[in-house]
Amino acid sequence: MKRLALLATLAFGCGGSRPAHIDTVPSAERFAAAQAAVRAAEEVGAKNNPKAELYLRYATEQLATAKSLMGQDDGRASLLFLRATADAEVALALARASQAQAEADRAKAGGK
């Protein structure tokens, strides 16, 4: 019985499922970082690559949802801003990789 109580305390009594350090950065800072990541992906041309565009869409949807949660549920907003930033960075990487591949293909075709 004591073991069960100890396990329950460890599982549920230590701050829930979210790490405590997530909420230490204000949502406004995370919002700015997510916005910048989305903007960078857009500028590189993520909309021109189907995979990159999918991640860009995820990022913009999460950004909009998180923005609407600011002031009501800052913890959830912060997590969504982190997800939006990560998805935008994936979109950016995919777009850059696609551009690099296109340049390599052009160089290969021009060298023949």
Domain boundaries, the chain: 25-110
The structure tokens 């959830």 sit at 76
**25 pLDDT tier (thresholds 50, 70, 90):** low
Give the torsion sign (CA, 94, 96, 97, 101): positive
Render pLDDT for 32-71 as a digit per residue (tens, 0 to 9): 999 999 999 999 999 999 999 999 999 999 999 999 998 8
For the record, the structure tokens of 68 come out as: 């609407």
Q: pLDDT tier at 10 (50, 70, 90 boundaries)?
A: very low
- Which tokens is 2 given? 């004591």
Per-chain mean pLDDT for the chain:
83
Structure token pair of residue 38:
């989305």
Residue with the bigger pLDDT between 24 and 92: it is 92
